[in-house]
Amino acid sequence: MKILVSVKRVIDYNVKVRVKPDQSAVDLTNVKMSMNPFCEIAVEEAIRLKEKGVASEVVVVSVGSKSCQETLRTAMALGADRAIQVEAEDGLDSLSVAKLIAKVAQEEAADLVIMGKQAIDSDNNQTGQMVAALLDYPQATFASEVVIENGEAQVTREIDGGLQTLAITLPAVVTTDLRLNEPRFASLPNIMKAKKKPLDVKTPADLGVEVGSNVSIVSVTPPPQRAGGIKVGSVAELVDKLKNEAKVVS
Amino acid sequence: MSVLIIAEHDNKSLKPATLNTVTAATQINADVHLLVAGFECQTVVEQASQVAGVTKVLVADNAAYEHQLAENVSKLIVEVADGYEHILAPATTTGKNTLPRVAALLNVAQLSDVIKVESADTFVRPIYAGNAIATVKTTDAVKVLTVRATGFDAAASTGGSAERQVLSQVIASDRSRFVKEQLAESDRPELTAANVIISGGRGMGNGDNFKLLEGIADKLGAAIGASRAAVDAGFVPNDLQVGQTGKTVAPDLYIAVGISGAIQHLAGMKDSKVIVAINKDEEAPIFQVADYGLVADLFDAVPELEKSL
């Protein structure tokens, strides 16, 4: 079984986000970038399936400028076998990215596509579902457990209020939630080995996909700041404030 | 042109997030239609028809829609999409699961987690876990949006009298099958729906100490949450995590106990109405966003707070 995993290079989750003064976008200059946390979980899950003997090959794909090759190398250091960079401007819209990944999944004849449920920059939570729709594949989003048997994926999903289990026929798309696994760290020897693993570069034209979006950014602004609060001296004062000032406790 | 909303329900009752989505829809156009796709969902249809502002309820009642499988519901929506310029769903796990499929099938973008309607083609949505707010304009022929419930007041659940239209389409994928569902049977509310949340951080010391928070949670009807540090330390399971990579919450009252206030945690809770922080380190960044900060040892303050409530 072949697994395709998509990864996105995003601003590191520990970095404080700043909006550019011209309000056109978030400022990404000289900011630490990392693999999107949900993509890390997707890579980990694919590698575990390979280690269990369920998968035979793990291919990792990223859509973006040359710098995303670094993220692809990280995925290979973690255990992915080879990588594909689809060369495109960073920040392409979800539908365009979905079309590109769907095409790669088709060309690779991937049996399973594992993707993060959302990227922590644009927070869209839609690319995986779109890939599934474009390929007319079944999907299981927000996965917290994946079991592959008899050409099916039994996936436990995190839904509002609990868990739901679906059985979907392969080929299919799974998107990861936090509880699916705890990603490993890459060892130094594996980081060195990853440098020699194959990395192909393709363009949207190679894939026969036209990219573009009808959505434009009007502005990106900082969120309203919270007015500074006060320190209370005791639990009694706190309770009094909550009851009589904030009126959130009766 | 009319707005179509995909109703959120469990075949028994209409979920409140639908009402907030109706309010968002009425800000786009006064003619709001609700699609109820489900199985033996007659009571939901009754409730949907009474929602103030809804003019028409489309009903697809078939076993194929019982569990809201995205494969089936998305194709049903696309079949009825003709004539609508806007298709909305609450940004719940169900709406987030299905609606991007609809957008892709219609070859249009989806705008996720809309918190404000500027006009029929311009919408506001948080990005970077709410650390930046984007205003976006779309010229797509059909605008597909998920709506964050906390961004809009709920429409009145009564007062309307919508006409009904029964849909006969049955779309049943043979490649996706419902196996089971385990809904949490807790007396406590869900984190994302709770009016009050009390969360613990690394300062709790260990998992057992989270029991200290339960007394307060019981008294306030609160959900219990945790910071990533507490989850990473193995004190509590991942599903309690509030933060950028966990759950984003905006309750009326958020009590942070032993939480220093890492950026990733603040991103998940800073839209709460009132924030209380209890921490023994007076330099902790959590105090910068807290309305009421108490510098104290949580092991003294928490039991005392429980007694005083």
Is residue A161 over pLDDT 90?
no
Query: Is residue A244 in some structural domain?
Result: no
Return the CATH number of B191-308, one of 3.30.70.20, 3.20.20.140, 3.40.50.300, 3.40.50.1220: 3.40.50.1220
Q: What is the CATH number of the domain that holds A203?
A: 3.40.50.620
The residue assigned the tokens 């990864």 is: A7
Q: Residues, chain A, total?
A: 250
CA B178 – CA B60 distance, rounded (Å): 18
CATH fold of B3-166: Rossmann fold (3.40.50)
CB contacts of A216 in chain B (<8 Å) are 136-138
Over residues B234-262, mean pLDDT: 92
A130 domain-assigned: yes
* A161 Ramachandran zone, left/alpha/beta (phi>0; psi -120 to 50): left
How far is it between the farthest Cα atoms of chain A? Answer: 68
Domain tally, chain A: 1
Assess contact for A85 and A64: CB atoms under 8 A: yes
Residues of chain B positioned with their CB less than 8 A from the CB of A246: 253, 274, 291-292
Q: Which tops the pLDDT comparison, B263 or B280?
A: B280
Q: Please say if the pLDDT value at position B244 is more than 90.
A: no
Q: Which domain holds residue A21?
A: 2-221
Phi, psi for residue B121 in degrees, rounded to 5: -125, 5
Is a pLDDT exceeding 90 seen at residue B230? yes
Express each pLDDT in A28-45 by its tens digit: 999 999 999 999 999 999
Phi-psi region of A123 (alpha: psi -120 to 50; beta: other; left: phi over 0): left
Q: Specify if A117 maps to a domain.
A: yes
The answer, yes or no, to whether residue B237 has pLDDT greater than 90, is no
Residue A69 counted as domain residue: yes
Q: How confident is the model at residue B218 (pLDDT cuts 50, 70, 90)?
A: very high
- Rounded CA gap, A6 and A64, in Å? 11
Fold match flag (B3-166 vs B191-308): yes
Question: Which has the closest alpha carbon to B292: A226, A230, A239?
Answer: A230
Confidence of residue A227 (pLDDT cuts 50, 70, 90): confident
- The verdict on a CB contact (< 8 Å) between B176 and A167 is yes
State mean pLDDT over A59-86: 98
**Per-residue pLDDT at B1:** 83
Query: A235-244 vs B298-308: helix axis angle to the nearest 10?
Result: 40
Residues 146-175 of A with CB under 8 A from B: 154, 157-169, 172
Q: For residue A22, what pLDDT is reported?
A: 96
Quick check: B101 contacting A, CB < 8 Å?
A: yes
Interface test with A, best of B78, B135, B176, B196 (most A CBs within 10 A): B176
Contact B73, B39 (CB under 8 A): no
Residue B176 clears pLDDT 90, i.e. is over it: yes
Domain-wise residue ranges, chain B? 3-166, 191-308
B109/A214 Cβ within 8 A: yes
For residue A139, give the H/E element and its range: strand A139-149
Residue range B188-204, pLDDT digits in tens? 888 888 899 999 999 99
B81 at interface of A, judged by CB pairs closer than 8 A: no
Does residue A214 have a pLDDT over 80?
yes
pLDDT greater than 90 at residue B246: no
Q: With contacts defined as CB-CB under 8 Å, which chain A residues touch B264?
A: 13-14
pLDDT value at position B189? Answer: 86
Residue B186 scores a pLDDT above 80: no
ipTM computed for the complex: 0.94
